[in-house]
A and B are shown apart, each in its own frame.
Chain A
Amino acid sequence: MTALAGRVGIVTGGASGIGRATAVALAGEGAQVVVADVVRDGLDATVAAVAEVAPAGAGAYPVVADVGAEADAAGLAGAAVERYGRIDVLVAAAGILRAPGSPPRTLWATAPDEWDAVIATNLRGTFLCDRAVLDTMIGQRSGSIVNISSVSGRVGRAYDSAYCASKFGVIGLSESLREEVQQYNVRVNVVLPDAVATPFWDQNGPLPRPAAALDPARVADLIVYLVTLPEDTILLDPVIAPFRSRRRRRAPAEREEH
């Protein structure tokens, strides 16, 4: 499996969940992958997981970075170029459901700093990382960006106002950027996962976990598919959801617990 041999990818949110699964999948196809996260421990585990599947010439290189910080995002792109000379793929998977330690809250109980933390990572972080790789991709006249939105980027849900706002915003940003860079042969994808089985749900406090959740490897498979499509083709804004899920949408009765 070497569809991405000689290619260089960057994956944010690489210490867990979709990010880690994507780093493993890209490297499994032969790519060199720069994996970024704010958590060093998880990154090391991702590097180890990549080492188990990567063919010769592929691997993972960890960078500790906060995607919401401009210097960190720029440093991430710089590290990829310095180490591997190019950037073919960016997967912006870094995302949080809520500010660290915050329980699910109504909008009127959400403090501005809790709002800001979610917007900073999910929306500003996507902007900053996209922006950081564009000089290189435009110069190459090739590249694929995959921004991870969510089904919450299409339908707002109670107690997730900042998250929903951020994920709607990622779609708006991606559509703008897609139109700007298509002339440079740079492709901008958005993926909208439904529930995925990741540590992400730990941020949901007492709320019940989704009845069905995707293995993050399934989202990673889709991302590999998107970035290996022929250059003249794009799959627009795919929604990926667990099949045979007993219910896609939470029933109203379930919400009355809060």
Chain B
Amino acid sequence: MTSDHALAGQVAVVTGASAGIGAATCRALAAAGAIVLAVARDTSRLAAVVQACSTQAPAPEARSLVADVRSAAAVAAIAGTALDAWGRIDILVCCAGILAAAGGGPAPVASLPVAHWDEVIATNLRGTYLANRAVLPTMVAQGRGQIVNVASVAGLAGHAYESAYCASKAAVIGMTEALAAEAAPHGVRVQALVPGAVDTTIWDQAGLIPRPRHMLGPERVAAAILGLVRLPDSATLGTALMAPAGAPEQARAR
């Protein structure tokens, strides 16, 4: 793949970078010539992602940062790390997300442990807020920048036994819309991508809930994220829905 004019040399931060959509997005950004800061909790899986980035054709620089998006201090360090290394931040893609708490699984609201609710909200919603917040002063000062937050169709239509996940993803869309309005006057574009079911390890957290028959590959979602970032400055998709073709039930938007 040849270097992409729009993305070559751009500094991109990706959270949830060690697996699934995040890892695929790191590889796609690197293949388009972007400099990647891959952020996740798992050191060894991050190293593999950085390695994969470095084998993409233009081989731009890629680094990893071990951070838990639930920690305000750890997330605040993202901006400093990128600025120290490259002096700016052009792109943030927030992919860090969980379906259920560690050791938890699908559960009715009535018996979902409060700590499990808190863990999902802390990762998916608060983590996205913290990461957005961490890069915004830089982007505003630059007068340009863009953010893509990965939500889910579960944020458009709630499903049983996934209340915390549905609440978190709906809330990410709300936050993204509010921020898009705030940041636009500063030249910062904020969009949400709303994928249907994606074939990633997140389904390992789904317990007895069967995997959907039609799922998007994470590389398809990564391509959509790059499509959002490559949009001309004068355009935005706002909240973009992407679902596997042939599976209309995945995309039952209101």
List residues of A whose CB falls within 8 A of some B CB: 70, 106-108, 110, 112, 115-116, 119, 123-124, 127-128, 130-131, 134-135, 138, 152-153, 155-181, 255
Check if B61 is an interface residue, CB within 8 A of chain A.
no
Q: Are B178 and A161 in contact (CB under 8 A)?
A: yes
Q: Is B95 interfacial (CB 8 A cutoff)?
A: no
Query: Which of A134, A176, A178 has the most B CB atoms < 10 Å from its CB?
Result: A176
CB distance from B7 to the nearest CB of A (A): 24
User: Which of B85-113 touch A at CB < 8 Å?
Assistant: 108-110, 112
B125 to chain A, nearest CB (A): 6
Chain A min CB distance to B251 (Å): 15
Report the separation of the CA atoms of residues A61 and B244 in the bound assembly, to the nearest whole angstrom.
Answer: 52
Tell me, rounded to whole Å, the shortest Cβ–Cβ distance linking A4 to chain B: 24
Q: Could you list some 30 contacts between A and B, CB below 8 A?
A: A106-B183, A107-B136, A107-B178, A107-B179, A107-B183, A108-B132, A112-B133, A116-B126, A119-B121, A119-B125, A123-B171, A127-B117, A131-B109, A153-B170, A159-B182, A164-B178, A165-B125, A168-B155, A169-B174, A171-B158, A172-B166, A172-B167, A172-B168, A172-B170, A173-B109, A175-B157, A176-B158, A176-B161, A181-B109, A255-B181
Contact between B167 and A179, CB atoms less than 8 A apart: no
Total residues of chain B contacting the partner, CB 8 A = 46
A-B residue pair count with CB separations less than 8 angstroms: 164
Point out the residue from A115, A135, A158 that lies within 8 Å of B182, measured CB to CB. Answer: A158
A131 to B109, CA, bound (A): 6
**A113 CB to nearest B CB, Å:** 9
Cβ–Cβ < 8 Å partners of B178 in chain A: 107, 156-161, 163-165
Could you say which of B136, B171, B175 contacts A108, with CB atoms under 8 Å apart?
Answer: B136
Q: Which residue of A lies closest to B128 (CB)?
A: A165
B160 and A180: CB pair below 8 A? yes
Partner pick for B110 among A106, A138, A162, A163, CB 8 A cutoff: A138
Cβ-based interface call for B130 (8 A): yes
- Measured CB to CB, the nearest residue on chain B to A126 is B167
B residues 151-181 near A (Cβ < 8 Å) are: 154-155, 157-164, 166-181
